[in-house]
Amino acid sequence: MSKHQLGEFEEIVMLTIGILNEEAYGLAIKKEIEERLKRSVSMGALHTALYRLEDKGFLTSELGEATKVRGGKPKRFFKVTISGQKELRQAMEDRQQLWRDIPSGVFELFPSGK
């Protein structure tokens, strides 16, 4: 078990950054989450999460090119660091373990357990 516990939203943000790969900047992340998970994400919430994750060292960011649509302002692209990736895997494994340990037949929807 690691020291930090990833929050659900933090986990979603990091996974989305992974999906977007080279194109993971603020607005793209927001839109991707909103589209995939059908929930609205405020800029404040997203950037608070991004800031915290960067602070913990799970994300790095760098500024990209400026475009006209953006009033000459650059994009900030995020990447998941190695320790971030470890954290994600840890979170995934924890979940899988939990799933595996549910006795079969308890969830009617999933009669075979996993």
Partner 1 sequence: MKTPPRLLLKLWQLCVPDIYRDDLEGDMLELYQERVLHQSLIKAQMLMLFDALSLLKLKAITSKISIEIQIMISNYIKTSSRALLKNPVTSSISIFGLALAIGCAITTFIWMDFQLHLDSFHPNVDRTYQVVSQVMEKDKLALHGPSPLPISQRLLEDQPEVKFAVRMQYEQANVRFDRNVFQERVLFADPSFMYAFEFPLQYGNRAALETRGNVMISEEMATKYFGEYDPMGKEMVLQFAQGTKQTFIVAGVFTERPLNASFAPSILLPLENYFDLQLQRDNDWSRFNSATFVVLEDTNPSALEETLASYAKIQNAANGELKVEGFELISLPELSHRSWEIHQPVSYGNSLDGVYGMPFVGTLLLIMACFNYVNVAVSTATRRLKEIAIRKVMGSARQGIILLFLVENFLVSMFSIILGVALCYYFFQPGFSAMAGIEIPFAFSSPQFAMYFFISIFLLTGIVSGAYPAFYISKFQPNAIIKGSVKFGSANLFSRVLLTLQLFIAFTSIIGSLIFTDNAMFIKELDWGYEPDNVLAIKVNDQQQYDLLKEAALNNNAVISAVGAKGHVGIDNRFTVVNQLEDQIKTLAYDISPGYLETLKIPLLEGRYFEKNKSLEESKSMIVNRAFSDRMGWDSPIGKTLTFDGVDRTVVGLTENVHHTFFGYDEIRPMIFTASETPKYNYLILKTEQGNTVIVDGAMQEAFHQIAPDDPYSKYYQDEIFNRAYNNVDSNITLMMTIAVISIILSCLGLYGLLSFNIQKRFKEFGIRKALGADWQHIVKTIAKQYAPIILVSFLIGVPIATYFINGTGHSMFSITKPLNPWTVMLALTIIITSLAVTVFSQIYKATKVNPSEVLKSE
- Residue 63 lies near partner 1 (rule: CB under 8 A): yes
62 and 23 Cβ atoms separated by less than 8 Å: no
Joined together, the tokens standing for residue 107 give 């969830």
Name the minimum Å distance from CB 85 to partner 1: 23
Q: What is the 3-state secondary structure (H, E, C) of 24-72?
A: CEHHHHHHHHHHHHCCCCCHHHHHHHHHHHHHHCCEEEEEEEECCCCCC
**Among residues 8, 71, 98, 103, the one that binds partner 1 under rule CB under 8 A:** 71
- Residue 104 lies near partner 1 (rule: CB under 8 A): no
17 and 79 Cβ atoms separated by less than 8 Å: yes
Size of the site for partner 1 (CB under 8 A): 23
- Residue 39 lies near partner 1 (rule: CB under 8 A): no
- Residue 69 lies near partner 1 (rule: CB under 8 A): yes
- Residue 76 lies near partner 1 (rule: CB under 8 A): yes
- Residue 58 lies near partner 1 (rule: CB under 8 A): no
Q: Is the dihedral of CA 92, 97, 102, 108 positive or negative?
A: positive
Q: What are the residues binding partner 1 (CB under 8 A)?
A: 25-27, 30, 42-45, 47-48, 50-51, 63, 66-71, 73-76
